[in-house]
Amino acid sequence: MFIGSEIYIIGGPSKEPSSSVRILDCRKDTWRDGPSMTVARKNARALFCDGKIYVMGGCDIDKYSASWFEVFDMKTQSWTALPGPGADEDELLNLFRAGDKRYRIENVFEGKIFIVVDEKEYAHDPKDGTWKFVRQQSSFRFFSLAVWCEINNIMYCCTWSGVLMWSKSCADNEAREWREIKGLGELCENRLVTASEFDMIDYGEKLLVMWKSSGDKQKNTIWYAKISLESRSSGREVWGKVECVDELMFPVESFESIYCLTLAV
């Protein structure tokens, strides 16, 4: 994840859990160690909200869920364990125990963290530590949504089937409705549909989508598309225009995952 001009690498990859925090200062091009987490984690979810880094998952969860969730205060430079789902939330607790791939962070809005777990959406309020069931979701939204980002209060996502969609950000997640971005049929049908890995970011108020094509023989290349966005029909439609599509080759034999970030340097 990134904060300002710095990139944070929190924990370890899929097979190497770690409590370490490594920080890259992109202005000075230097690395430094940050304070270690309270437990070792692998492939943990992380997000930045109100001056704090929230990290969840990537570790075994006990019956009290004491180790599953923790927060880093940027001011005090210290980690604190947060209460996960309590004993009265057995269903949610059991879903988290089932494995990290069964849940995802969907949105952060007005200080609350929205998490989707097995088609059910929950809201967590870090201020009082409460978990609230929001609604039951359709199987489409959880299982096909691969990545998402927010641009000017609009949420954008790419599904695992290569469809680019949008939705208005709102405090009431129950009111959210995903719609397909118009004008991108050729990109989605001829390129994104073959992807096995995705990421997307806000790139100067344009949508930058990166993907790894499952059909590529070279294991060290990824593709990207830069898309300009336009709201039409009084905000009922979003149209996209592909400005460029190109590939990137990295000086490595292969890689497991791709992540793209935008930094202020």
Between 25-29, 99-103, 258-262, the lowest mean confidence (pLDDT) is in 99-103
Highest mean pLDDT among 63-67, 140-144, 244-248: 244-248
Over residues 3-24, the pLDDT tens digits come to 888 999 999 887 788 999 999 9
- The answer to the question of residue 105 being in a domain is no
The number of domains in the chain is: 1
Q: Is residue 228 part of a domain?
A: yes
Beta-strand runs (E) in the chain: 2-3, 6-10, 21-25, 30-34, 45-49, 52-56, 69-73, 78-82, 103-109, 112-117, 120-125, 130-136, 145-151, 154-159, 164-168, 179-180, 195-202, 207-213, 221-232, 237-249
User: Which range marks the domain in which residue 263 is found?
Assistant: 147-265
Task: Report the pLDDT averaged over residues 115-139.
Answer: 74
Instruction: Write the pLDDT tens digit of every residue in 137-186.
Output: 654 444 466 788 888 888 898 888 889 999 886 555 555 678 999 999 99
Could you tell me the pLDDT band of residue 64, with boundaries at 50, 70 and 90? low
In a domain, 247, yes or no: yes
Amino acid at 142: F
Mean model confidence pLDDT for the chain:
81
Residue 197 to residues 29, 41, 115, Cα–Cα distance (Å): 28, 22, 21
Q: Give the three-state DSSP class for 264.
A: coil
pLDDT at 70: 87
What would the two tokens of residue 242 be?
Answer: 């592909």
Q: Where are the alpha helices (DSSP H) in the chain?
A: 90-97, 139-144, 185-190
> Is residue 163 in some structural domain?
yes
Using DSSP, state whether 136 is helix, strand or coil: strand
Q: Residue 139 has what pLDDT?
A: 47
Asked whether the CA dihedral 80, 86, 87, 92 is positive or negative, the reply is negative
Query: Quick check: 263 pLDDT over 80?
Result: no
How many Å from the N-terminal Cα to the C-terminal Cα in the chain? 15
- When pLDDT is averaged across residues 79-85 and rounded to a whole number, the result is 79
Residue 235 forms part of a structural domain:
yes
Residue 13 within a domain:
no
Give the burial string for 2-24 (b: 16+ CB within 10 Å, else e). Answer: beeebbbbbbbeeeebbbebeeb
| Residue 154 in domain | yes
